[in-house]
Amino acid sequence: MNPELYSVYKRMMTWFGDIMLATSPPKTKAEQILAMAPYLVKGNVICRYYTYYLDGIFIPGEFTHSSIVAGKDKVVHSVAEGVQIIHPIDFVKDTDGFLIGKPDYSESGADRAVDRALWHIDNKSEYDFLFNEPNKVYCHELTADCLRYGGIDIMRTKKTFGIFPFQFTKVIYLADNIIRKCRTEYVFRG
């Protein structure tokens, strides 16, 4: 995608992704946020979901976003604005549910996975809106890439999007595939 078109598409998708269709408040509250603290271990994965953001309707699976824990106070995730570090509280607040999983790393696997996440930060990796650009990553692709560097391979799933005659098929990473490779440490479903 050429840079000018990417810039326009990025702004449009950021706007679209922020549209809320809420009929009730988010389910995650302080109780769940405080309960997650012991599981914020370097290399763990957090997957979350909303029931009220418009873009979630188009993302397959229960959990629509994922990140990798880089420390007690930071997670790395990929959003329309690019790969970013945010606080874990900011990652799960205002959600309707989330899961923290522990991949079965070898001894140094978690460190290698986090190093890869920080590499994406240092290299200013951008979001892959088309699920096929080699130098850009969507959220689950970022998580899968980090896990791969930690010695955990995540399989992809073939998905068809759209409605006939406007359909296309992609082979993508899903949160479900990531979760299958993790031991569930904490889960909240609102």
Is a pLDDT exceeding 90 seen at residue 143?
yes
What CATH number has the domain bearing residue 158?
3.90.1720.10
Segment of 21-25, 124-128, 160-164 carrying the highest mean pLDDT? 124-128
pLDDT in tens, 28-73: 999 999 999 999 999 999 999 987 666 665 666 789 999 999 999 9
Return the percentage of the chain with pLDDT > 70, whole number.
Answer: 85
Q: Is the pLDDT of residue 131 over 90?
A: no
Kindly state the average pLDDT of the residues 15-25: 67
Tell me the per-residue pLDDT of 155-173, one tens digit each, with 9 for 90 and over.
999 988 777 777 778 899 9
The DSSP string of the chain is --HHHHHHHHHHHHHHHT-B--SS--S--HHHHHHTGGG--TT-EEEEE-SSBGGGGGS-SS--EEEEEEETTEEEEEETTEEEEE-HHHHHTT-SEEEEEEE---TTHHHHHHHHHHHHHHTTPBP-TTS--TTB--HHHHHHHHHHHTT-----EEEEEEETTEEEEEEE--HHHHHHTEEEEEEEE-
- Predicted confidence at residue 9, as pLDDT, reads 59
Domain that holds residue 181: 3-189
- Nearest Cα to Cα of residue 172 among 124, 130, 117, 131: 131
DSSP one-letter string for 68-115:
EEEETTEEEEEETTEEEEE-HHHHHTT-SEEEEEEE---TTHHHHHHH
What is the reported pLDDT for 4?
Answer: 74
Q: Is the pLDDT of residue 106 over 80?
A: yes
How many CB atoms are closer than 10 A to CB 141? Answer: 20
pTM: 0.87
**Structural domain tally of the chain?**
1
